């Protein structure tokens, strides 16, 4: 790959130091970032290049502690970095930046690792300084708005400066290896497609469980909550990848068109239905992984917040393929385990020939993290002479055992895709807005109800109402046993 320029607004922030620069280091070690590439960290304070490199060195040593593959390459990598002081609201620093980036033939990527309220003003500055030419790409992170209208306003502001093809909206879940593998699993195996529909699938579960709490993000998180933070983006993207029709190719728009159709097919959860189709929870003090942890309100230092740290809901994709198949989604902070998975449960056998012996339903479990892999649970005879007894057992594919080596982090793939100009794993404007259109009525109904989120103990699997949500339908949340 040719040398390129990457300019990180928010170059001293948590995202840059914890995710972006470690990811770039790995790509450098693998030879994808070549000499002559320039990485600029931009922020408001004054500091020298050397001080910035020192800060990045410390961050890499901390965050790559277990994954520092090539310590001898750290110094040459740091030499690609420079620091520039910039004022996003005023003129300071812009003229110099424009002069440094004058070579229009190089790919230049502006990474806006700053709050979405600044996207518009940064875009306008880039335009005013002639930094929006054809080889320019801009990367934005969530939250893209807090509802559909605010998302549209952000998209409009970006759209005034950049063509849609220049805008890369990150959903880092799409960069995860196991999420990319969903496409390979579904469309690289003729085996699954005939079964991947309402005739054969009883229901789908998507769980993204976290053990972490607020992580010093209180001011963002308390305004957001789990529905905006996780469901509007990551979980709906996962749902789209499970439910979408086969795209005709891997072309970015072929895939994004199919995902958009799924979002448009989601049955709205109207006002009256939120109380039985959604559950929101908030954690109280408890113990996670054997360690006592405070409750959400204590962490926040207030007792008035009604922000949800857990959501479970039952969605339906109203189309020919999925009519009548529930998609149960749940996500939360301070749960018992860090675990993300997608489970497809197949229908019962139409007639059992085994008398009283129970016949378990087949399940395909796609484990996104940790212990990445795929398990297909099938029914077998328990060996032995004593009659036909059955037990479900897994056909078990572990990524670590099968492929060995390290699993690249999502940002490694995503950053390089921006440089290559491949938007396949990024969200198009209409996807983001369609997702908000489905989320907005749920938020509005919660807002107008007097109910508070249901309490759950940190270290549990969420409020009992989430269990009731699925058990009412005669089903249970999947447990890996």
Nearer to ligand BG6, 74 or 342 (CB): 342
Contact call for residue 229 and ligand BG6 (CB under 6 A):
yes
Q: How far is the CB of 60 from ligand BG6 (least distance, A)?
A: 19
Pairing status of strand 108-112 against strand 81-85: unpaired
Q: Among residues 359, 358, 329, 333, which one has the least CA distance to residue 341?
A: 329
Q: Is 234 a catalytic residue?
A: yes
Contact call for residue 431 and ligand BG6 (CB under 6 A):
no
Is 348 marked as a binding-site residue? no
Q: How far is the CB of 229 from ligand BG6 (least distance, A)?
A: 5
Among candidate residues 129, 234, 276, 351, the one labeled active-site is 234
List binders of ligand BG6 among 190-219 (CB under 6 A).
210, 212
Nearer to ligand BG6, 80 or 342 (CB): 342
Cα separation, 374 vs 376, in Å, equals: 7
Pairing status of strand 310-316 against strand 326-332: antiparallel
Residue 211: CA count within 13 A, CB half-sphere: 14
Q: How far is the CB of 470 from ligand BG6 (least distance, A)?
A: 22
- By beta carbon distance, the residue nearest ligand BG6 is 229
Is 473 marked as a binding-site residue? no
Cα separation, 311 vs 285, in Å, equals: 18
Is 259 marked as a binding-site residue? no
Is 176 marked as a binding-site residue? yes
Nearer to ligand BG6, 322 or 461 (CB): 461
Contact call for residue 412 and ligand BG6 (CB under 6 A):
no
Nearer to ligand BG6, 101 or 365 (CB): 365
Please report where in the chains the tokens 């991947």 appear, as a residue: 196
Helix, strand, or coil here: 324?
coil
Say if residues 38 and 82 touch (Cβ distance below 8 Å): yes
List binders of ligand BG6 among 107-126 (CB under 6 A).
none
The pair of structure tokens assigned to 132 is: 């929006």
Q: Among residues 52, 137, 127, 46, which one has the least CA distance to residue 92?
A: 46
Cα separation, 68 vs 77, in Å, equals: 13
Cα separation, 204 vs 432, in Å, equals: 23
Q: How far is the CB of 220 from ligand BG6 (least distance, A)?
A: 8
Is 172 marked as a binding-site residue? yes
- Residue ranges that bind ligand BG6, judged by CB under 6 A: 210, 212, 229
Residues with catalytic function: 234
> Binding site: what residues are annotated?
44, 87-88, 142, 172, 176, 210, 229, 333
């Amino acid at each position: 790959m040719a040398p390129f320029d990457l300019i990180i607004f928010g170059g001293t922030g948590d995202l840059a130091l914890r995710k972006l620069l470690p990811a770039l280091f790995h790509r450098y070690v693998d030879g994808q970032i070549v000499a002559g590439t320039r990485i600029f960290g931009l922020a408001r304070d004054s500091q020298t290049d050397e001080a910035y490199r020192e800060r990045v060195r410390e961050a890499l040593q901390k965050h790559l502690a277990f994954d520092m593959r090539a310590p001898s390459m750290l110094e040459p990598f740091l030499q690609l970095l420079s620091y520039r002081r910039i004022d996003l609201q005023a003129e300071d620093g812009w003229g110099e930046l424009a002069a440094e980036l004058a070579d229009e033939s190089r790919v230049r990527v502006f990474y806006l690792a700053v709050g979405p309220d600044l996207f518009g003003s940064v875009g306008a500055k880039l335009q005013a300084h002639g930094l929006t030419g054809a080889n320019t790409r801009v990367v934005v992170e969530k939250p893209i708005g807090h509802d559909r209208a605010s998302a549209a306003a952000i998209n409009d502001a970006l759209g005034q400066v950049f063509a849609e093809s220049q805008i890369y909206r990150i959903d880092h879940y799409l960069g995860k290896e196991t999420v990319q593998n969903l496409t390979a699993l579904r469309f690289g195996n003729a085996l699954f497609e005939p079964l991947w529909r309402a005739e054969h699938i009883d229901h789908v579960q998507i769980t993204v469980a976290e053990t972490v709490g607020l992580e010093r993000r209180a001011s963002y998180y308390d305004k957001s909550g789990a529905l905006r933070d996780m469901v509007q983006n990551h979980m709906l993207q996962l749902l789209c990848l499970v439910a979408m029709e086969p795209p005709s190719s891997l072309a970015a728009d072929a895939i994004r068109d199919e995902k958009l159709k799924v979002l448009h097919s989601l049955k709205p959860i109207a006002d009256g239905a939120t109380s039985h189709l959604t559950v929101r929870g908030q954690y109280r003090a408890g113990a996670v992984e054997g360690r006592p942890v405070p409750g959400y309100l204590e962490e926040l230092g207030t007792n008035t917040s009604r922000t949800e740290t857990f959501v479970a809901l039952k969605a339906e994709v109203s189309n020919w393929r999925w009519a009548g198949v529930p998609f149960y989604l749940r996500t939360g902070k301070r749960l018992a385990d860090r675990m993300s998975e997608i489970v497809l449960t197949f229908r019962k056998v139409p007639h059992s020939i085994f008398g009283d012996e129970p016949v378990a339903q087949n399940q395909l479990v796609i484990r996104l993290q940790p212990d990445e892999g795929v398990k297909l649970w099938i029914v077998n005879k328990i060996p032995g002479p004593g009659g036909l007894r059955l037990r479900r057992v897994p056909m078990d594919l572990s990524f670590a055992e099968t492929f060995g080596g390290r699993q690249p982090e999502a940002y490694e793939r995503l950053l390089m895709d921006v440089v290559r100009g491949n938007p396949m794993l990024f969200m198009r404007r209409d996807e983001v807005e369609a997702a908000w259109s489905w989320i907005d009525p749920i938020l509005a109904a919660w807002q107008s109800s007097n109910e508070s989120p249901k309490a759950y103990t940190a270290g549990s699997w969420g409020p009992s109402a989430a269990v009731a949500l699925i058990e009412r339908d005669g089903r249970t949340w999947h447990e890996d046993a």
